[in-house]
Structure 1
């Protein structure tokens, strides 16, 4: 437990350091004294208020929430499938949720990157559409992955890659049918971007992250049992299939909320659980909060890099995460083969 507490505190400090860098640096630099004065309303400045409360703080909060959601979904999928390479992006759940939201954008002409209060009802509906698409993707993957009544790991990865490609192609087709302005919005969103984060997005996703996050944490102990043979689990009186389905629905809910505000950001759900296991061991009730903090810190730092490395231009945060995630994925493949 001391190891867990120490790791938890260190990760909180790392997250706060990333948030500090994010909020003080950019096209418009600020000192920590300026930020403290702004928060405490000492000699308030309209320019500082605008930069902090309308641009940077919502962006940090969105990055943290998305990182938490994707990381926890990754823990669930890796625990259910007993496959360390399982990830919402690799398995196609991101793509399923994303294509459903692109379909929603296509028919209702919602421009995510320029969302304002006039479109708040549509934005609140987007996670629901993402949930439907994510469920469809997950259902297809699991249908194609079952062999002789069991989940075949090789089929799971291959099915996930195929579903991911299929839904990705559908998203691209729909976006090409949009008018130029909506296409630009959809293309930027699909690449994984939170640069236009605002308080509407935060209000939209917080209920999903809180409800499914709490449920997932309360059920995390089941993931320890799922590492055993199925006959052994059933002998303990655990309704295996029901619990797996409920946990899968929770992971889809988390992913849908994240995809609805940030587009498709891969590899967070792959990297964070592996790092957490190396830090605190294999107990999932310890892994889950550590994974959430790692996901939040990873995405905050990635977004900081995305907005500063080519300033005043910006990279999509999804590209920055992929630059780190692809080598890590290849490393895991080599390690698994060894």
Structure 2
């Protein structure tokens, strides 16, 4: 893939003749992405080093790079703590944040609403309802089906939102938002009903899962979520041009040759799948899909060729930081990561509401 300067200053054109692909990136994208990755790595190292069993950041680096001497007095313990307990949960947090941020970016574009995100539109509630039903009511079903149940719940919810918002031969972003908020309330009530009348042991497990947590996550969770993202993130990136067109409005998008309704359905499915994958692994975590697109849009502009990957990186970094805060703030106990993101995201959401009124 070759890089060429575009005719407009401040842009980089990436073209691949073999794959017949081309992308136009804001020149700020590579620098911002590198800064986010560097900060994420710093937080990752300190997060691994912190805990009941402390490891120096230098030993963490040597353990990660395989340069810790075999005769080091804590060689076995350091490798056990880093490789088995802390690194997989931190990588899981990063992947969950990337999935939620990408999902929120897509939703904000197809609805043309800066307040849209999987939690607000009810997609996370649909995935959560399906997962809670599997945990509380279908005990004989293996939990390995949890990602598929969450995906089914998210997909059915997104399709219900789309069908109910259909009017006069099409859907509108405003109706998508309103129907999504209403469905989120209904699905939340159904989830509460299941929790009230379920077995106490299963209900406790579901409650912990619903608060949103990466506690106890291992390499199987990293592989499962990583496989989903390995498919979904490139598909989302390939749809960047359609997202650019849809964010301009339906009439302009049709004028540019975009099949608006078909693209909106396809992108809604992609967004729902990303949210469902995150919910299946870590439970319902709110506001990441709201905050990450807003912050990164200010850093790299609205073009989705650069916005999608940078938002994914920022969402991952945000959740890695939130996990560290949750482990530190009430140590030796642990605050679920979903509560930390709510404490960060809720004030930001109110700020956006206040600014939109002005």
Partner of 1:304: 324
| Deviation for aligned residue 1:14 | 1.3
- Residue of structure 2 equivalent to 1:137: 157
Task: Render the CA deviation track for 1:200-232: whole Å, top value 9, x for unaligned.
Answer: 211221221111111001111211111233233
Distance 2:94 2:175 in 1: 33
Q: CA deviation at 1:92?
A: 0.6
Equivalent of 2:69, from 38, 42, 50? 42
Q: Indicate the residue corresponding to 2:108 in structure 1.
A: 78
**Unaligned segments of structure 2, at least 5 residues:** 1-25
After the TM superposition, which of the residue ranges 79-88 and 179-188 deviates more from structure 2?
A: 179-188
2:39 is matched with 14
CA distance in 1: counterparts of 2:85 and 2:152, whole angstroms: 30
Matched, 1:156 2:186: no
Q: Any unmatched runs of 5+ in structure 1? A: 111-120
Deviation at 1:68, TM superposition (A): 0.4
How well do the aligned residues superpose, as a CA RMSD in angstroms? 1.8
Asked if 2 retains the 8 angstrom alpha-carbon contact of 1:123 and 1:204, the reply is no
Q: Does 2:117 correspond to 1:90? A: no
1:179 corresponds in structure 2 to 199
How far apart, CA to CA, are the structure 2 residues paired with 1:209 and 1:320? 24
Matched, 1:287 2:307: yes
Which structure dedicates a bigger proportion of its chain to strand? 2
| Distance change (3 Å), C-alpha of 1:158 and 1:239 | closer
Residues 43-89 of structure 1, C-alpha deviations (whole Å, 9 max, x = no match): 26332222212211011110000000000000110111111111000
Q: Do the aligned partners of 1:58 and 1:199 also contact (CA within 8 Å) in 2? A: yes
Relative to structure 2, which stretch is displaced further, 87-96 or 205-214? 205-214
5 Å-filtered alignment, 1:1-338, equals 1-39=26-64, 40=66, 42-43=69-70, 45-109=75-139, 122-338=142-358
SS state of the match for residue 30, structure 1?
coil
Task: Pick which of 212-221 and 121-130 moved more.
Answer: 121-130
Residues 172-198 of structure 1 show CA distances to partners (whole Å, capped at 9, x for unaligned) of: 222333332221111010011111211
Q: Higher mean Cα deviation, 33-42 or 166-175?
A: 33-42
Q: CA distance change for structure 1 residues 30 and 95 in 2, over 3 Å: closer, same or farther? A: same
In the superposition, the TM-score normalised over structure 2's length comes to 0.87
Partner deviation per Cα, 1:279-299 (whole Å, 9 max, x = no partner):
011111110111011100100
8 Å Cα contact 1:81/1:151 also seen in 2: no
Instruction: Count residues in correspondence.
Output: 328
Structure 2 contact 111–177 (Cα < 8 Å) conserved: no
After superposition, what is the alpha-carbon deviation per residue over 1:235-279, rounded to whole angstroms, capped at 9, x for unaligned? 332222111111111111111110001100010001101111100
Q: Tell me which of the two structures has the higher relative contact order, counting C-alpha pairs closer than 8 angstroms and 6 or more residues apart.
A: 1
1:268–1:321 Cα contact (<8 Å) kept: yes
Preserved contact between residue 137 and residue 198 of structure 2 (Cα < 8 Å): no
| Distance (Å, rounded) in 1 between the aligned partners of 2:159 and 2:268 | 10
The TM-score with structure 1 as length reference comes to 0.92
Q: Distance in 2 between matches of 1:109 and 1:208?
A: 25
Q: Give the conservation status (yes or no) of the 8 Å contact 1:69–1:292.
A: yes
TM-aligned CA deviation for residue 151 of structure 1: 3.4
